Amino acid sequence: MPLRSWITAAAFATLLSACADPEEQFKAGRLYDACDRAWPVCTTTGGCVVGNAQYLEGRFPGTRRFVVRTQGQAEIAVLMLLKTQGATGAETRFEWNEAGCGTKSVEAIEGLSLFKEYEALGEVRRVAKVHREGDHLIEITSDATADYLLKVEVR
């Protein structure tokens, strides 16, 4: 392929990638999980076990519960892409339970800050460190009105 044709093809590919759908970029080859089962954990249930290969869809207001398994100490990042935004609500709360459910980390985002963070960064991201191997219940509760995609990154 002549150099000029190669440069034109590369420029076209770059242009196409710049126009990629934000939802597809967020999913990045992950598989959809309806998260509609009942995994027992922490005297309640999570709808699914989520790792680095899945994504979920959901709607606020409400609570999303799911399980993340770790092989030991890990950092669990929860990332959300907001497909729609409605009423801001008062609070969006993230909880990471340790395996065995003796302790948990909690982080809250107040009202409009959820939408402002999303608009500024293109995602909402919260991270917590867990210290024990096993099943960790993750709960996200919000009274905001929004449709979202959710994924986790376990490191």
Q: Which residues lie closer than 8 Å to 66 by C-beta, 6 or more apart? A: 35, 39, 46, 47, 48, 49, 50, 56, 137, 138
Any domain includes 3: no
Q: What φ, ψ does residue 106 adopt, rounded to 5°? A: -130, 135
Percent of the chain exceeding pLDDT 90 equals 87
Any domain includes 14: no
Q: Which residues lie closer than 8 Å to 26 by C-beta, 6 or more apart? A: 55, 79, 81, 123, 149, 151
> What is the total count of domains within the chain?
1
Tokens read off for 128: 């917590």
pLDDT of 136: 98
CATH code where residue 36 lies: 2.60.120.380
**Mean pLDDT (10-residue bins), the chain, 155 residues:** 51 55 97 98 97 99 99 98 98 98 97 97 98 98 99 99
Any domain includes 9: no
Any domain includes 5: no
Nearest residue to 65 via CA among 74, 73, 56: 56
Structural domain span for residue 77: 22-154
